Amino acid sequence: MQRLYILGTLVMILVLSTSIAAFQQAPARGARQGGGQQQPSVAGLTIDKVRDNLFVIRGGGGNTAVFITSSGVTLVDTKTFGWGQPLIERLKEITPKPVTTIINTHTHYDHVEGNPDFPATVEVITHENTAKLMPEMRDVYGIQNAGRNVFRDANGRGLPKRTFKNELTIGSGPDRIDLHYFGRAHTEGDAFVVFPALRVLHTGDAFPNKGVPIMDINNGGSAVEFPATLAKVGALPAIDVVITGHNATTLTIADVREYSEFNRAFVDDARAAKSSGQTLEAFAGSWKVPQRFLDAGYAQPTAERLRSNVEVAWKELN
Ligand SMILES: [Zn+2]
């Protein structure tokens, strides 16, 4: 009887600790959209194969795309401080080729802080606005967390030396990468990365997952322009697979279009509320994700995330 009791207790502890671990991961991602509090480790990174020469490494911050070309490896995003070295270790399991290029989708800590862990010879490419923002590592609006200024600590190593304004093509044939800029959304420097031969797109955090995005006005982001920027992304031709900033699986270009509509619903509701004289507080306290998006797998935002996005919308809807 006592043995049974001890066994039962052990099972309970196991179940509890597993669910606590799952719980800790989910809110850490939701709240900070990053690798959060988890200690950096190779085990914290998982590899998903998208194509024979394209992989996603998840964990430790934003989703990292690994594109293997004839001349070397191009990475899209390099995760949070401390995760650069584990990322390098995981890469060795995929390919012996060296990393030659890093593309950062935007300036946030959980997408760029791994950069200085790579050799200084690696070419770092970003949108021109992101190149201006990265040396500053400003707070993310609504989170007030800039991470640390890894670039200052590394005497500028890992900062972009090549930038683009609207479009940039790198490489050719099967190695080709197209970079696009469509305007303000998550920040004022969101790059969209297309691998044309593979029909794959990486959106960064302009499409993080099926939830309310960060609208980081500290880094030039916008609520009002978010839907139109995403609509242009959704109109990109010949895309079968979409790697998002933080989702645990790949999505589709139809999901990008739906995400544009999701953000448009929020902005339209905010505009109507403000013009009818509703207060910021009242709108932030009452807005809910419309049912059709809940049916499509969308999550309700936290009160903090919603409040900060309503603040951004209210500033812009003057
Ligand atoms: Zn971000």
Is residue 64 over pLDDT 70? Answer: yes
Amino acid identity of residue 167, one-letter, is E
> Which band of pLDDT confidence, cut at 50, 70 and 90, is reported for residue 37?
low
Share of the chain above pLDDT 90, in %: 86
Read off the tokens for 303.
Answer: 């009160």
276 alpha carbon – ligand 1 mean position (Å): 32
Both ends of the chain: CA-CA distance in Å?
70
Average pLDDT in the chain: 91
pLDDT, average across residues 94-122: 98
Ligand 1 centroid, distance to 50 Cα (angstroms): 22
**DSSP 3-state of 159:** coil
> How many Cβ atoms sit within 10 Å of the Cβ of residue 225?
18
Tokens of residue 147, six digits:
């991470």
Give the span between the Cα atoms of 154 and 148, in whole angstroms: 11
Q: What is the rounded average pLDDT of the residues 266-291?
A: 98
pLDDT at 73 over 50: yes
Cα separations (Å) of 150 from 117, 135, 143, 189? 10, 9, 19, 19
C-alpha 251 to ligand 1 mean position (Å): 18
What is the predicted pLDDT for the residue at 5? 52
Average pLDDT for 218-247:
98
Q: Which two tokens stand for residue 140?
A: 């993310």
pLDDT mean over 301-306: 96
Residue 34: pLDDT over 70: no
The pLDDT tens digits for 135-187 are 999 999 998 776 679 999 999 999 999 999 999 999 999 999 999 999 999 99
- Maximum CA extent, the chain: 72
Sheet of 46-51: strand order equals 46-51, 54-58, 64-68, 73-76, 99-103, 123-127, 162-164
Q: Inform me whether the pLDDT recorded for 227 exceeds 70.
A: yes
Residue type, 124: V
Task: Tell me, in angstroms, the distance from the centre of ligand 1 to residue 154's CA.
Answer: 22
Give residue 6 CA to ligand 1 midpoint distance, Å. 46
Vertex 75 angle, CA 69 and 80, to 5°: 165
CA of 39 to the centre of ligand 1 (A): 20
Residue with tokens 């010949």: 238
Helices (H), the chain: 2-32, 84-94, 109-112, 128-133, 150-153, 226-234, 253-275, 280-286, 291-295, 303-316
Q: Cα of 216 to ligand 1 centre, how many Å? A: 8
DSSP 118: S
